[in-house]
Chain A
């Protein structure tokens, strides 16, 4: 049924400054934040892996040298070690598999706090499929679930191709109510009320508790002149969502069009009770336009966001690509089993006796195999452990040699560690077994590097935004890096003379 067009309007777009809080902008912002966090986490883990490699390969070299009875040339052993550590590079795998390989090889050497990094990494692998899915949801936001077409159509930005896409989607996905509503709004704009009513009824059948659909149905019914039915539909919308000012406002417009001014005023009063400023604004706008207008609602932001996360072929393919980019080796769907398998491997590896792996005493720097550990879990040879637990700390000639050894090691370490800390913030801390500080500094370093390199610009909003935060993020990254280096200089991994 076609009649005179019902004049409709949208609520104004909320904005922060000049940035409209519309779905593409919010989705891009969330996506960029998400990828920023993920990239920082992965880079941090990778840098931790490099630091662990730097810390423990000399011990591994020592063990291999011992195991081969010093029969093999050191250069050969080093060449083999480089090869073993870089084996994943010969395959089509991502940086995280390389990291995993390193952590597995160094597992026996790691102290308790460092092993927690491995557990975190393992947890990350277990949920990696889900992480990739969410990432793909943000990445494919313009391509999946006709979300973009719904958005553009509702705002009058759609072209014929977009409308055809929605129509085609409705044919292939008859159980999806949102495109039905969008198509109905499109028909409403073309004053094709009969089709709009049909589509909205289908939508209501699928989602009988959606107040928005009743609101639009009421407008379509009003377009066909069925004011009573329209009023009933508006009332249904109000019943489902009594706190929505728009429905009361639309009821007031309906009463006004039927010259029932008393009820119209009552409805306006009800709407004003909910959002007086909003009603005032809508009335002013209507006066300016000189026409009675009904307010239609766009698809809510949360709905758009949840739709973009729905599984689809496109999303799955992108999630697989994201997973393969970081991990690879096995398909994404196997990630859970992969993680569980690794957990079993770690359990089996924990049965290897600790004395098979040499350790370096954190006090005197001596290499040992049995030993003990400090209360913080740092490796310590039995002699230092004994000196540490002595009740009285007075020195004597017997202990002098040992304490001198400890002092010398500390003096040598101080210079070395401060250089390492300046070269790669966190490395010196990790070498001195301060895992917490090391991880914090490496995370800040990764965050700064990601900020400088990417500027947080991973995804692009297809709706243009004039405000550009990327340069600010890059500058913040540089500042953060500067502060980190200053901090590394001011607070070295070990304090001299303590």
Chain B
């Protein structure tokens, strides 16, 4: 059975949801102008991802950027792949040049990045075949589909908040306060937050920390922002760490000035605006014209009540009542 259509009519989340709920096994091919991505499902669980844009295993690039492997080791491993009928990562692990945990983390980064990309597609097509297509470049994983959906949706929701606070990628984060258990408990810091904090060493740039953390970029960046918000970390331009102490002192001073200025400017604004404007609350609230009119009506009413009885009573006529 094949499922075929466009993403305009049926969104990616709906397709994933359907496959998950029906506990289907097969391959979903999502195609857009950017890439064709194949996602394998087994009983409704994501078991593999592949993209036609991957020239080689994307984990290799992630690991290279994270300095977890060396380029020449990787090349050698790739060359030996056919000879040993082993994959490059198996060769590197067997040689002790790569830790399995790093490979798993790299897989996690690639999969989450790919899913995040796919979930934001609004145009394109999809095709689901209820058998698994054999693809060599498929990246194996085991991710509950609903978990992946919720996680990706959370990232899309929170991204605008994080985006505006992300420091320049070439800046170096610097720890200001040593982390304690109490701080972890108080600010409910996650494992990722602690991992990122551990990577901060005055020399690594934001970009490097994100890469070396082997965490999905969104998670790593949110952790940096979170640590900055709490006040555990500050960022400085690269190479300026030697002036960190003076910079911190200056920042502290500027911060105090800023705080004082906040109140001073507010007070000046209130004073200025009070002088320029003429607050109505200090004048009569109801205009004189309105008061006069109503007063005039009351005076007339008194005058006429003294002058005559009720008009209806002046006439004994009743036919028109």
A interface list, Cβ under 8 A from B: 10-15, 18-20, 22, 66-67, 69-73, 76, 79-80, 83, 87, 89-94, 139-140, 142-143, 148, 155, 157, 277-278, 280-281, 285, 317-318, 320-322, 324-325, 328, 355-356, 358, 366-371, 381-383, 385-386, 389-392, 396, 398-399, 402, 458-466
Complex CA gap A464/B308 in Å reads 9
Inter-subunit contact B294/A459 (CB<8 Å): yes
Task: From B280, B301, B320, give the contact of A460 (CB < 8 A).
Answer: B301
Complex CA gap A492/B305 in Å reads 51
Inter-subunit contact B308/A157 (CB<8 Å): yes
B interface list, Cβ under 8 A from A: 13-14, 17-18, 21, 144, 146-147, 149-150, 153-154, 156-161, 164-165, 228-229, 255, 258-259, 262-263, 266, 269-270, 273-274, 276-281, 283, 285-290, 293-294, 296-298, 300-301, 303-305, 307-308, 310-312, 314-315, 317-321
Complex CA gap A321/B321 in Å reads 39
7 tightest A-B CB contacts, nearest first? A12-B317, A369-B160, A382-B153, A462-B300, A321-B289, A321-B287, A91-B277
Inter-subunit contact A142/B296 (CB<8 Å): yes
Complex CA gap A72/B258 in Å reads 8
Complex CA gap A461/B311 in Å reads 13
Inter-subunit contact A459/B305 (CB<8 Å): no
Q: Which residue of A lies closest to B274 (CB)?
A: A90
Inter-subunit contact A398/B281 (CB<8 Å): no
Q: Which residue of B lies closest to A328 (CB)?
A: B280
Inter-subunit contact B262/A73 (CB<8 Å): yes
Complex CA gap A371/B159 in Å reads 11
Q: State how many angstroms separate the Cβ of B51 from the closest Cβ of chain A.
A: 23
Interface of B is mostly: helix
Q: State how many angstroms separate the Cβ of A300 from the closest Cβ of chain B.
A: 15
Q: Which residue of A lies closest to B280 (CB)?
A: A92
Inter-subunit contact A459/B297 (CB<8 Å): yes
With contact pairs A89-B281, A278-B319 given, residues A318 and B290 touching in the complex (Cβ less than 8 Å): yes
Task: From A142, A322, A381, A385, give the contact of B300 (CB < 8 A).
Answer: A142
Inter-subunit contact A157/B146 (CB<8 Å): no
Task: From B144, B262, B311, B317, give the contact of A80 (CB < 8 A).
Answer: B262
Give 12 A-B contacts (CB < 8 Å), ordered by A residue: A12-B318, A76-B266, A92-B277, A92-B280, A94-B280, A155-B311, A318-B290, A325-B287, A389-B17, A391-B21, A399-B150, A462-B301
Complex contacts, A15 vs chain B, CB 8 Å:
312, 320-321
Complex contacts, A139 vs chain B, CB 8 Å:
290, 293-294
Task: From A13, A67, A383, A458, give the contact of B157 (CB < 8 A).
Answer: A383
Complex contacts, A371 vs chain B, CB 8 Å:
157
Q: State how many angstroms separate the Cβ of B321 from the closest Cβ of chain A.
A: 5
Complex contacts, A368 vs chain B, CB 8 Å:
157-158, 161
Inter-subunit contact A318/B293 (CB<8 Å): yes
Inter-subunit contact B319/A461 (CB<8 Å): no
Complex contacts, A79 vs chain B, CB 8 Å:
263, 266
Complex CA gap A71/B255 in Å reads 7
Q: Which residue of B lies closest to A399 (CB)?
A: B146
Inter-subunit contact B150/A66 (CB<8 Å): no
Q: Which of A367, A385, A390 has the most CB of B within 10 A?
A: A390
Complex contacts, A465 vs chain B, CB 8 Å:
310
Q: Which of A18, A322, A370, A402 has the most CB of B within 10 A?
A: A370
Complex CA gap A317/B315 in Å reads 38
Inter-subunit contact B318/A383 (CB<8 Å): no
Q: State how many angstroms separate the Cβ of A270 from the closest Cβ of chain B.
A: 18
With contact pairs A155-B311, A396-B146 given, residues A464 and B304 touching in the complex (Cβ less than 8 Å): yes
Q: State how many angstroms separate the Cβ of A330 from the closest Cβ of chain B.
A: 15
Q: State how many angstroms separate the Cβ of A43 from the closest Cβ of chain B.
A: 15
Inter-subunit contact B312/A18 (CB<8 Å): yes
Complex CA gap A103/B21 in Å reads 44
With contact pairs A12-B318, A369-B157, A398-B147 given, residues A386 and B17 touching in the complex (Cβ less than 8 Å): yes
Complex contacts, B158 vs chain A, CB 8 Å:
368-369
Task: From A11, A87, A322, A398, give the contact of B144 (CB < 8 A).
Answer: A398
Complex CA gap A5/B200 in Å reads 112
Complex CA gap A386/B18 in Å reads 12
Q: A10-B315, A386-B153, A464-B310 are in contact. List 14 more A-B contacts (CB 8 A).
A: A13-B314, A18-B312, A76-B263, A90-B273, A90-B277, A142-B300, A318-B290, A325-B287, A356-B160, A368-B157, A458-B294, A460-B301, A462-B301, A463-B301
Q: State how many angstroms separate the Cβ of A65 from the closest Cβ of chain B.
A: 9
Inter-subunit contact B266/A148 (CB<8 Å): no
Inter-subunit contact B153/A390 (CB<8 Å): no
Inter-subunit contact A390/B293 (CB<8 Å): no
Inter-subunit contact B165/A69 (CB<8 Å): yes
Complex contacts, A398 vs chain B, CB 8 Å:
144, 146-147, 150
Inter-subunit contact A70/B229 (CB<8 Å): yes
Inter-subunit contact B262/A22 (CB<8 Å): no
Complex CA gap A262/B297 in Å reads 51
Complex CA gap A153/B218 in Å reads 86
Task: From B154, B287, B293, give the contact of A140 (CB < 8 A).
Answer: B293
Complex CA gap A396/B147 in Å reads 10
Complex contacts, B156 vs chain A, CB 8 Å:
370, 382
Inter-subunit contact B266/A12 (CB<8 Å): no
Complex CA gap A18/B311 in Å reads 10
Inter-subunit contact A386/B149 (CB<8 Å): yes
Complex CA gap A157/B309 in Å reads 11
Inter-subunit contact B297/A142 (CB<8 Å): yes
Complex contacts, B13 vs chain A, CB 8 Å:
386, 389
Complex contacts, A321 vs chain B, CB 8 Å:
287-290
